[in-house]
Structure 1
Amino acid sequence: MVYEAVKRCSTGNMERSGSDTDGDGQETPLLHRGREDKVPRAPACCSSRYALALLSCYGCFVVYSLRVNLSVAMVDMLNRTRQAGDNQSSSVCPAHADPTRPTHNHTGVTFPAMYTMWAAWAPPLERSRLLTITYIGAQLGTVVCLPLSGEICFYLGWPYVFYIFGAVGLFWFVLWSLFVFDSPNTHPRISEQERLYITSSLKNELSPSVDHIPWCSILSSVPLWAIVVAHFSYNWSFYTLLTLLPTYMKDILGFSIQQNGMLSALPYVGCAVLALLSGQVADYLRETCMYRTVVVRKCFSLVGMIGPAVFLVAAGYTGCDYVLAITFLTISSSLGGVSASGFNINHLDIAPSYAGILLGITNTFATIPGMVGPVIARSLTQNNTIKEWQTVFYIAAGINLFGSLFYAAFGRGTVQPWAVQMSYPHGD
């Protein structure tokens, strides 16, 4: 297996047959069709497309920092509410039950907008690299915000959590407004080499007109629904950890608010690292080793979904061994980062012209776990016993396993016929 991969890599330039060929007739990617069509790659250093990647990473950082700070601040808010209630023993009315932790309804426009931008900016053979840079912003937002929110709550009080991260978001808005443009053709400071590199590599993948949106074809597309199922399944375990991991740390493993924030962030450090590395490896396999896009996307999705499921279940059997629990949860979340180069990017593979619309569809379904998953998890952990949490982890792992297998069966890696209004061969 290793020998075969090395052999394919070493002969890639002589026998290139197309990394995007799924056995369904798609022609070789533009950058490898022949000497006459080959466009030299524009350098990454100081390029406009990588500047967009960094700013979109910053944007995702802001989005997730504003999401997760509530899960830490809420612990401090509820503790202060309880303390205030305990000091008022002469209350006329009976004390109310503690309010239920609000769920996170994450049906915003950020990610569809990002995908629409990348449809015009990401060369096909750099998609994994560029989009994983974008995605690690979400992990960094979690990693930085969880421990920092704990420190802010401890030293300044919970309101300052929202003041500080709100200011960070406003600064991003200024940068985004000044330095980001819709396409390479409208960017006033892009180099001519980079503009030609991007537009030439995308000319046979983008529809010449998106005035007509093929809704029937989109909604009946099996490859799209494969992404929907995978996205839904992955987010079930992700949001379960995102919203309830601080509670698990506090109620089961017994950590204070400061320890809570620091240790809750550890699983996302590994996720950010593996997401970034997976982007590099995925594009290397597609461009240099000639692996088909569909094979790369499916393999990375399987590793990024089945791996987390295994270690999530294992974490439920660590008892009060917090070192082992943190280790398993960290490995679980880290392996989840591999899926960033799997189904997460597949929208751009099957329909780059409508990638924003497709992500809007898949993300709509994928936010359901953010609303339903934590509620179910809390209802199953009324007594906060380890056995109850084992059930929560089993459910999340089972859903992850199903989603990965469904995507492996029905996912595709080529532009679908309905996504391009041109007469050159593409296949389902």
Structure 2
Amino acid sequence: MNRTSVPDHAHAASSGPVTGDRADDHRRLGRELELFGTDPLIGAGLPYWLPDGAEIRHTLEEFVRARERRAGYRHVYSPVLGKRELYEISGHWQHYREDMFPPMDLGAEQVVLRPSLCPHHALIYRSRARSYRELPLRIAELGGMYRSEPSGVLGGLTRVRAIQLNDAHVFCTPEQAGDEAVAALELIGDAYRALGIRPVRYRLSLPGAGGKYVADPALWERATALLTGVLERSGVPYEAAEGEAAFYGPKIDVQIADAAGRESTLSTVQIDFHQPERFGLRYIGPDGARHRPVMVHRSVIGSVERVVAHLIELYGGAFPAWLAPTQLVLLPLSEGERQQAERLRARCLDRGLRAEVAGPDRGSLGARIRAALPAPYLAVIGPREAADDLVALRLRDGRRLDPLPAAEALSRIGALVGACSLDLWDEEPAGRESGG
């Protein structure tokens, strides 16, 4: 199906069917690692998250929220439903109706599951008068949206019908729009480095033929010129692609690929002159007159579902320590060391580390070590370690470390996790904490 009119930043089609035959396919790994599942009673394209998968999702959400806060974004929540009239104003009903769920009658009104968050954010902007002194106003949300995807294109987490989107909209003056789009690309790059994601290319997505696009040549020319300048200022190579724009404007798509070479869009930056006009958005300028803001749409990690699918395949389930659902597994040699292991687990939780105890009732030490992988850190606790408050760490990559004071081991693991490091161990930590 041609998805030329995708109006958000997350769910452009992957290129090629998903077969699920590969050992590194995220659906197979997701089942084996008990990250997510599906049930025909819930429906196709509607996966549920199991505890370990939910832990990864929560960590990702907090990761991106923290980076957005540092970049000056304020977070909001908005309803997943809206009146049909809302989407008639935004243009979705005219240009995107075939991909929306049917309206539901609610008394004399009709309400619709939203296919995008931008109309709600436009209403939040116009909820009161705005001054140029408030701009740029950066509004972010991790929110649900819904697409009536055909069953033939659904697959695991990559194409779903209920999408949790990392979304944001920057309302700014025309003079600020270029800088805001450049900053959005920088934010995307920062997140990708922490996650270990490498984009395969940047795409300038332009309109194609047909009536799916807003008919305003001046709008398209102005927005395309702005985004072209953003790409050139950012110094990233890019390719233009017709027929891939949102219905209201061009966009920069950050493309990723799986191990089989199938390409999909993960993150985007868009310039939108259309919806500010449709919703009558204004701000008072320094001249005291009313002016029209520009709306910059951007998503740092796209949909949570798609980014988790990519990370599952990228790491084969052996996630970076900061993202791993269980970061440290404590392995008492016998029941005599279990109490010390439980105390250490409590100290881990106090530090924000995710730890579990795998006691001798689960089998031999070797069997427990094999079962604990792919956790990044294993801590063997024997009589000496229990008596002296030590841990003997084994790293996921096979390294075995000499016994360390438990406080130091937890501090060094915590520092790597807090920094969202891709390294398992720092041989020369910058500083050591005491206590724990």
Tell me which interval the TM-score lies in, with the shorter structure as reference length.
under 0.3
Larger radius of gyration: 2
Which protein, 1 or 2, shows the higher relative CO under an 8 Å CA cutoff with sep ≥ 6?
1
TM value normalised by structure 1: 0.21
